[in-house]
Amino acid sequence: MMKPPSPSDPDILDKIRKLLRLADRSRGAIENEAKVALAKAQELMTRHNIDSALLRMEAGDDRPGIDVTKGLYELPRSLNPANLLILSLLQSHFNVRIILMHGHRKTPVDIIGTPADVDFAIFALSYLRETFFRCWNEFKRTTAKPDRASYYRGLRDGLHAELTAAKQRAEQSYASDARQSYALVVVDRGAAITRFVEHTYGKVGTRKSRSRHVDARSYTAGQTKGRTIQINRPLNDSQS
């Protein structure tokens, strides 16, 4: 098994940021280029997190604490179903905690995590919002009486399944002892984020999701489409 790049390389995060800029379709990247660049960035991010975790475990009791910060992303004041579903994906797959704030003209979103994870989550939020809205607009033009909320829920669930599988494949590229060490650091990182949230915000409430009728046709179409949104599939040797 090939040893992944050392996380001590100070250029690793710069490489990730360059890939994220390359994947930014607002800067003129076509969709296929954006997917490839984003996939490479996610692979580097995954390996960077695992390798950094292993170095911290090797340092033992003298290892430095986890650096936690927050980033800001402003959503419209009136949130449509896609925004909340995408935020749930970020919390499940991008190593961050999401705090919705109150604003007069916008809905401020605080994104809590390590600096690298926050950077990537902010980009992913923008990318996924663009992708969800574009997919919905394409679907509603070709379907009679489509249901927006059901389609978005299907998109979220399809993408969630793909992200879960991709994470498992990425972790399987490491030996079992490395995965166990990384699992311990994941717990450590989660505890650091929780401490930051409690210190900064105090007691934080949980937004309850409302039960909604699901249109099976719209949901299935969204779920199928969601499985094609490739954000963090591992790279093979020919792509690296």
**pLDDT of 112 above 90:** yes
Q: What pLDDT, on the 0 to 100 scale, is given for residue 198? A: 93
In a domain, 165, yes or no: yes
Residue 29 in any domain: the answer is: yes
Q: Is residue 52 part of a domain?
A: yes
Strands 106-113 and 97-100: antiparallel
Q: What is the mean pLDDT of residues 211-226?
A: 87
Tell me the HSE value of 238 on the side-chain side, using a 13 A CA sphere.
0
Segment holding 29, helix H or strand E: none
Q: Tell me, yes or no, if the pTM score tops 0.85.
A: no
Query: What pLDDT, in 10s, does the model give residues 4-43?
Result: 444 444 466 666 666 666 655 555 555 556 656 666 666 6
10 secondary structure, DSSP code: T
**Position 233 in a domain:** no
Mean pLDDT, rounded, for 199-208:
78
Percent of the chain with pLDDT over 70: 66
pLDDT at 197: 94
* Per-residue pLDDT at 147: 95
Question: What's the whole-number mean pLDDT along residues 156-165?
Answer: 84
Has residue 1 been placed in a domain?
A: no
Q: Is residue 140 assigned to a domain?
A: yes
CA 222 to CA 81: how far, in whole Å?
A: 13
Residue 167 structural domain: 12-226
Q: Which residues contact 123 (CB under 8 A, 6 or more apart)?
A: 20, 23, 24
CB 21 within 8 A of CB 40: no
pLDDT for the residue 184: 77
What total number of domains does the chain contain? 1
What pLDDT does 104 receive?
A: 80
Q: Is residue 208 part of a domain?
A: yes
Residue 45 lies in a domain: yes
Percent of the chain with pLDDT over 90: 31
Asked if 115 contacts 185 with a C-beta cutoff of 8 angstroms, the reply is no
Place of tokens 């399809």: 158
